[in-house]
Structure 1
Amino acid sequence: MTLLQEEIQQSFQEYQQISLTKAREAFYRQSFLHDGEFYWPEESYPLEKKRYALIWLPACPRAQRVAATIHLLGLTDWIETIELAPHKDQSWHFSATMDGVYYLYELFEQKAEGIQPCLYDKKRHEVITNDQYNLSKILVRFSNQLEKTPSWKLYPVDKQSQIDAMSGFIFQHVNVQIYRAGHAANVEDKRKEDKKLAQTFQILDRHLGQYPFLFGDTLTDADLRLFPSLLRCPIYAKQFALDSCQLAGYENLRGYVHKFYQIPAIRETTKLEQIVETHYRSPHNLKTFGSKYQKETITSTFGELEII
């Protein structure tokens, strides 16, 4: 058993002590993120060409994961992807009206805030689910209805329990930990949380020095939960002032990000311009972080990211 597997096993045992829903709610409250709702009467929503649309914000790491899943599973002819505008007005909105609405929250009836990414049924004109944690698994079930087997088996039956454990680990110790450290209440708490994140990155760096992906040669759903957060580390290092997110000290993590970016489906859903625009120039982020990084560019942020 590798060190990473030992850490995951211990972490996931703790994670299973409370329900997944309560765990997500607790972690998201701590990190100022929003979770979605999961309601999916599967028999009512068969796979039909162009019936569904993924509504997503390219700057958002969890949204990028779901968009990439659609491409990797060969579902692009079946599920449309609709990007939200990079600048947040009073709320997230479309670049042009979609189904007669401009603001995302207008699709959510009585809810005050529309949460993305979400899967929208264009036939019934309703949001099916905005549960970002499970959306990729829904897409896998969709892909199982196709006659053609996808090139990438992101959630193979024989590895599902292992992938779930790894995903829980990545969720707790990377996805949420970045925001927990970034939004710590004081300098001392930030130092402690930043150190925890650095320890996780050290474990992952050692593991990925031995294997191309988290599960050896196989790219899985768990990798798609790690890559988008690692990709945005140069931004987190600046805006959140996190030393752990300086990936220069993690050779294998940097190599992992570069290798991931070479995959066409990943590159197509890694919208570098929109990521930079939202993080550095959206009014809501300027209000939060100030204008210090307003002139940052793709090159200044992702200068080493190249297509080999």
Structure 2
Amino acid sequence: MTAASTGVPTYASPVDLDTYGPYGPGRLHTSAGWDRPIYPFQGRVTADGSSGFRAEPGRYHLYVAWVCPWAQRTAIVRKLKGLEEVVSLSYVDDERDGRGWAFRERRGADPVNGFAFIEQAYDATEPGYPGHISVPVLWDRQTGKIVSNNFPDITIDLGTAFDEWAGASADLYPRALRPQIDELNAEIYQDVNNGPYKVAGATTQDDYEELRHRVIAALERLEERLGERRFLFGDRITESDVRLWPTLARFDLGYNPLAKISERALTDFPHLWGYARDLYQRPAFRDTTDFAALRFSQGPKPSFLNEGPERIVVEPVEADWEAPHHRG
């Protein structure tokens, strides 16, 4: 009998860096150029079940973190599609030590399995799993295993496989635009989503300067694009907007002060800043965002930060996300 079945919440012990160390060593393996870690569970949910995982109401659960931009995407899509009663969701604690993501009273217990640590979900799927313990995790109640921890696939599947039960009409991945969306997503991933981590991990001055200017150039291209249209593909929100927005939300409070990327804040890009507010002022984005959790200056130094290069001075910027966006 699990804690979830008895109704007694199970919580992990407090974060203990002295005992367990920071998360990363032995778990988080990346290249010198900060390629993302390996996400080995890559099952797909399909409407017809041909993948082995049929889209069904009540079958799947999302484990996510408020602090994680990759996990936030899944929470945004779930709400944009009106799937709150179809796919359940719970949050892990904001902080972690060497044991990885955990459930603590601050963000609530695991309502499905009564796990204290996300590692237990990984071990239930692959006993003795030695790799990166990440969120989001898409869990299958029927098999008692992880379907996927591969974040790019999860939002696509949530956005396309559950239309029979979707309470909203948003088509985030329209067939006619998929090639263009995929192309832009790849650019956003390389130069924007993953860019700050690469800048933070730069080991030489030349690499630091090259990588930070690559992020700045990408932001400038997006600024120009959004000067001509409301969203990245015109008047509709797509998967590309969902993928870009969590990075923008973290830029002024987290990524830029940590990695020292740009002398310009997000608020200094008029179209990008208006666009970001336009999205935030919609429930799917606002209700899945906790700005208090996005300050990377809190807690231990991230394992991906290399302090070798001489970096520009960047301070956090407190912005008014409720200000009118004037993009209607």
Residue 85 of structure 2 corresponds to 77
Gaps spanning 5+ residues in structure 2: where? 1-28, 308-315
How far does residue 212 in structure 1 lie from its aligned partner after superposition? 0.7
Instruction: Identify the residue that residue 164 of structure 2 maps to in structure 1.
Output: 145
Counterpart Cα distance in 2 of 1:233 and 1:41? 32
Q: Which residue of 2 aligns with 1:59?
A: 67
DSSP 3-state at the match of 1:243? coil
Mapped pair 1:40 → 2:44? yes
Q: What amino acid sits opposite 1:39 in the alignment?
A: G
Report the residue type matching 1:238 in the other structure.
P
Q: Structure 2: how far apart are the matches of 1:64 and 1:86? A: 13
Equivalences for residues 134-283 of structure 1 within 5 A: 134-146=153-165, 150-234=168-252, 235-243=254-262, 246-276=265-295, 279-283=296-300
Aligned to 1:304: 320
TM-score by length of 1: 0.80
The CA deviation at 1:94 is 1.5
Higher Rg of the two aligned structures: 2
Q: 1:31 to 1:55 in 2, by over 3 A?
A: same
**Which of 140, 147, 151 is residue 121 of structure 1 equivalent to?**
140
> Match for 1:31 among 15, 34, 45?
34
CA–CA distance in 1 between the matches of 2:290 and 2:265?
21
TM-score for both structures, normalised by structure 2: 0.75
Q: Which amino acid aligns with 1:52?
A: Y
Structure-to-structure mapping, 1:78-117, within 5 angstroms:
78-90=86-98, 91-95=100-104, 97-98=109-110, 99-109=113-123, 110-112=128-130, 113-117=132-136
Using the alignment, how far apart are the partners of 1:222 and 1:65 within structure 2? 10
Query: Residues 250 and 303 from structure 1, CA distance in 2 versus in 1: closer, same or farther, beyond 3 angstroms?
Result: closer
SS in 2 for 1:94: coil
Question: Secondary structure of the residue that 2:33 maps to in structure 1?
Answer: helix
- Residue aligning to 1:9: none
Higher helix proportion (structure 1 or 2): 1
* Cα RMSD (Å): 2.6
3-state DSSP of counterpart to 2:199: helix
1:41 Cα deviation from its structure 2 partner:
6.7
SS state at 1:215 partner: coil
CA distance 1:119–1:41, change in 2 (3 Å): closer
What's the CA shift for 1:29?
6.5
Whether the 8 Å contact between 1:88 and 1:282 is mirrored in structure 2 is no
Q: How many residues align?
A: 271
